[in-house]
Amino acid sequence: MARATITLIAVLFFLPPQSHAQWRSVGSVDTGFVRGPAAEFHSGSAAVRISFLTEEIVRVRAVPRGAFPSSRSVAVLPKDRPAVQMVAAEDDSLVRLSSARTTVNVRKHPLRISVHAADGTILNQDAARGMAWDGAEVRVWKQRISNEHFYGLGEKSGILNRTSKSYSLWNSDIPAYRADTDPLYQSVPFIMTIRDGRAQGIFFDNSYRSSFDFGVESDARYAFGANGGEIDYYVFAGPTPADVLRQYTDLVGRMPLPPRWALGYQQSRWSYTPDAKVRQIARTFRQKRIPCDVIYLDIDYMEGYRVFTWNEQNFPRPAELLADLARDGFKVVPIIDPGIKVDTAYRAYRTGMQEDVFLKYPSGDIFLGNVWPGTCAFPDFSKPSTRAWWSRSIAELRETGVRGFWTDMNEPSVFDVPTKTIDLSVIHDDGGERTTHAKNHNVYGMQMTEATYAAAREARPNERPFILTRASFAGGHRFAAAWTGDNVSSWEHLQLAVPMCLGMSISGQPFVGSDIGGFIGAPDGELYARWLQFSVFTPLMRTHTVIGSPDQEPWSFGARFESINRATIELRYRLLPYLYNAMRQASETGIPVMRPLIFSYPSDSGAVWNDTEFLFGDDLLVAPVLWLGERERDVHLPKGIWYDFWTNERYEGGRDVRVTAPLERIPVFVREGAIIPTQQILQYVDQAGVNPLTLTVYPAANSSSEYYGDDGISFDYERGGYLLRSLSQLRESGELRFTLGRANGALPVPNRFVDIRLIGVERAPGMVSLGERKLLRMRALPAGEGWHHSSATRVLHVRVKESGDELSIHAVGTAPTPKSPGPRP
Ligand code: MIG
């Protein structure tokens, strides 16, 4: 009896949650047909449609009854694609649908799907339950193939590798979140799985509250679903992680190039006020010669937090302030919140009411919620008339001289209600379909950025907008950069910032960063300095801190840290050409700037759980110091040859090494064969053109890359207004060749020098020539054309005038590449 009771309790305890006993899976195929690159199957009242968008992108949709509704997606870009050739074959148990590169097997009894690469490798395969419904809920189960690891889902706290965890997606404002806090501000229902070096991706195009399980329910399965909407997902066949991202961003679009100044250092706090304080901060940067491009205005610049107003007391003449700051090279970015204060004396509210822009309950009453200004109404950004209304105020801010927009509170966050957001029954226009907040919640923030981006472009058609957002959805990278919200000034949070930024990067959003030094609390000098060093290698490099906290500027931690922090920010400015090239690559291919090791080395077992290192662009490996008091750290170097960025010491990869990391230095390694473009230090990005353009060559037998430059602000590059040159180098038996390919693009070649620094050159060459012309040897670094060799640093430095022609440099009589690291001074 006792034993039976225990057994019963044990059974009850281990039973899965009972709430989903009612899952109804798709049954056997009754009928099916093929049309073009798509097939549709019917099973009872359910229907399943499988279509090839490209040879490597397959879409799966399923409905429990009736026909497929017209499908509108805020994430997927409408796009004309060449028709895919799909071949269908059938036997008693299976229908096989194949493009040249991908095959979908549809088992008929019951209907279960598996997706395969051309060589037969399984990419994903339905588990026993396949696709199912329970009331309004939808869910898909896939078999977890052994050794399969899970990444993606955008902004998530905790570790980067999502295996054995489960997550929900529901945009939420959670200050001082922790490693296990979920969900957070953004929802990106995209995942990448990697197994034995091979990647595939899945994008679940559903904006309802969704959930993903990577092995909690069972380690033999993974699953995704939502509490409304359709089963509608896309499979990306890879095979590399870069291919998956290229395919995913082919579907949801890519980041447009931001203005180049947005890659400069940015300074924020809640809040710099009044105007004199803003001026003082700006002046201090220039006086101390610490480079800075952007200053933010947090909510206190407004009149009672009314968006699109200026506080008359503290910011009496905003246009004058912004113009003065602009003369000094500062761009000002104010915060804008979605909540519009209910106040008939406030223009945005009055016009918003007249133009019927606010979200309403089904009854027609306007939804009211409490946020910073008090009781507010919320614009329905899915409505064209709302966007037109919003656009006018954005244009006005732009006319006043602001250069970017910081969209906050757009989860949307609502105070004083248990759900912390808009009532789920509230109706959004949603393209005229009039759907609930339950459906539109997760896309609200992205739609706010979309409206803001469009408005900024309308105001200045040939100027690239800059928007920084807290909330977003899949595809939101088309409109805004994103930061990781309200973190904490702690070492743990610095450690979290790395996988968070990487998780966003690997999910399609390249333009990411975290509040440097932490938002809540106060960092000490060391934490701030280490955070700043890490953030040289996050595309968004912005300090921010909460109201009432101590000063958090690069000079706030004493003289020693001030000089360390200056040098750190200067490093960022030196690297701008390299970063800009990586941003361009991201905007063209979807391959992010920050890449987890597993992204670039999917077969490297040392990369699977690596949360403390990453690649920055194609050629730099960054190993930030994330621990108090540490002056050295272990670094996993993937296979290949690596050079220490600071000392040029040469390392064999494929192993872990221990490296020193004094307070002033973040460990960075350069891939062999890299040609790294850098520039002179400036106080702000547009202070002067790149001059000289320095190209540091880390010799390999041969290698090549590209240099891209443009005006950094306009869209002229879309019409050929850029400068694009190939870079290549060749090294064999004591000879070095470096070639800067002929200038492509309509941008005039700048009147400047190009400095080529060849690393690891043992002996001074007997001769260095530029094409037919012999270059002069100099005793010191050349001021004009010429070359210099230092046997102490083993750098051969060649300086030539840039022209539109191919520039080919040839050095003869140097020693061969060293086989092992030499001693360093
Ligand atoms: O309820 O505008 O994440 O960066 O300083 C807080 C004040 C509202 C949250 C943002 C933070 C910003 C703060 N905002």
Q: Could you tell me whether strands 786-790 and 340-341 are parallel, antiparallel, or unpaired per DSSP bridges? A: unpaired
In contact, 722 and 696? CB cutoff 8 Å: no
Confidence band, pLDDT 50/70/90 cuts, at residue 815:
low
Cβ of residue 437 lying under 6 Å from some atom of ligand 1: no
307 lines ligand 1 (CB under 6 A): no
Report which residue type is found at 476. G
| pLDDT exceeds cutoff 60 at 555 | yes
The arrangement of strands across the sheet holding 190-195 comes to 31-35, 38-43, 46-52, 57-63, 231-236, 198-204, 190-195, 149-152
- Extended strands (E) in 74-208: 87-90, 94-98, 102-108, 111-117, 122-134, 137-143, 149-152, 166-169, 186-187, 190-195, 198-204
Instruction: Give every strand in the sheet of 405-407, ordered side by side.
Output: 512-513, 481-483, 467-469, 405-407, 331-336, 294-297, 266-267, 542-543, 515-516
Of 477, 486, 474, the closest CA to residue 443 belongs to: 474
Confidence of residue 627 (pLDDT cuts 50, 70, 90): very high
337 in contact with ligand 1, CB cutoff 6 A: no
pLDDT tens digits, one per residue of 721-767: 999 999 999 998 889 999 999 999 999 999 999 999 999 998 999 99
User: Does the beta carbon of 485 lie inside 6 Å of ligand 1?
Assistant: yes
The beta-strand segments (E) located in 760-794 are: 767-770, 773-774, 786-790
**3-state DSSP assignment of residue 621:** strand
Instruction: State if residue 335 touches ligand 1 by the CB under 6 angstroms criterion.
Output: yes
270 lines ligand 1 (CB under 6 A): yes
Q: DSSP letters along 285-338, please?
A: HHHTT----EEEE-GGGSBTTBTT---TTT-S-HHHHHHHHHHTT-EEEEEE-S
Percent of the chain scoring above 70 in pLDDT: 96
Q: Is 486's C-beta closer than 6 angstroms to any atom of ligand 1?
A: yes
What ligand 1 atom has the least distance to the C-alpha of 413?
A: 1
Q: How far apart are CA 430 and CA 424, in angstroms?
A: 14
Q: What is the pLDDT of residue 71?
A: 78
The protein residue whose alpha carbon is closest to atom 8 in ligand 1 is 409
Distance 270 CA to ligand 1 centre (A): 7
Task: Return the structure tokens found at 819.
Answer: 């086989």
Kindly list the catalytic residues: 408, 411, 486
Count CB neighbours of 83 within 10 A. Answer: 9
Q: Is 234 in the pocket of ligand 1 (CB under 6 A)?
A: no
* Confidence (pLDDT) at 66: 85
H-assigned helices in 2-156: 2-14
Pick the residue whose CA is nearest to atom 5 on ligand 1. Answer: 270
- Ligand 1 centroid, distance to 736 Cα (angstroms): 54
| pLDDT of 18 strictly over 70 | no
**At residue 54, does pLDDT exceed 50?**
yes
pLDDT at 12: 42
User: What pLDDT digit, counting tens, does each position of 592-618 carry?
Assistant: 999 999 999 999 999 999 999 999 999
Going from the Cα of 409 to the center of ligand 1, the distance in angstroms, rounded, reads 7
Taking the centre of ligand 1 as the mean of its atom positions, its distance from the CA of residue 408, in whole angstroms, is 7
Ligand 1 atom at minimal distance to the Cα of residue 271? 5
Average pLDDT for 650-656: 97
pLDDT (tens digit per residue) in 679-727: 999 999 999 999 999 999 999 999 999 999 999 999 999 999 999 999 9
Q: Which residues contact 531 (CB under 8 A, 6 or more apart)?
A: 494, 497, 514, 516, 517, 518, 523
Q: Is the predicted pLDDT of residue 13 greater than 70, yes or no? A: no
Evaluate: CB of 544 within 6 angstroms of ligand 1: yes
CA–CA separation, 56 vs 233, rounded Å? Answer: 14
* Amino acid at the residue 444: Y
Q: Is 144 in the pocket of ligand 1 (CB under 6 A)?
A: no
Tokens of 166: 């489960």
Average pLDDT rounded to a whole number, residues 291-319:
98
Mutate-to-test residue for ligand 1 from 301, 333, 486, highest number of ligand atoms within 8 A of CB:
486
Phi-psi region of 379 (alpha: psi -120 to 50; beta: other; left: phi over 0): beta
Which ligand 1 atom is nearest residue 547's CA? 5
| Of 171, 184, 335, best ligand 1 pocket probe by most atoms within 8 Å of the beta carbon | 335
Does residue 823 have a pLDDT over 70? Answer: no
pLDDT digits (tens, 9 = 90+) for 183-240: 999 999 999 999 999 999 999 999 999 999 999 999 999 999 999 999 999 999 999 9
Q: Is 422:367 a contact under the CB 8 Å cutoff?
A: yes
The pLDDT value recorded for residue 817 is 53
- Dihedrals phi, psi of 283, to nearest 5 degrees: -60, -40
Nearest-angstrom CA–CA distance, 788 and 783: 10
Mutate to test the pocket of ligand 1, among 171, 185, 186, 270 (most ligand atoms within 8 A of CB): 270
* pLDDT over threshold 70, residue 819: no
Reply yes or no: is the peptide bond before residue 37 cis, omega within 30 of 0.
no
Using H for helix, E for strand and C for coil, what is the string for 175-207?
A: CCCCCCCCCCCEECCEEEEEECCEEEEEEECCC
Q: What is the pLDDT of residue 308?
A: 98
| Side-chain-side CA neighbours of residue 598 (13 Å) | 29
Q: What percent of the chain has pLDDT over 90?
A: 94
Average the pLDDT over 457-479 and give the result.
98
In angstroms, what is the span from residue 167 Cα to ligand 1's centroid?
24
pLDDT exceeds 90 at position 813: no
First to last CA, the chain: 80
Mean pLDDT of 329-353: 98
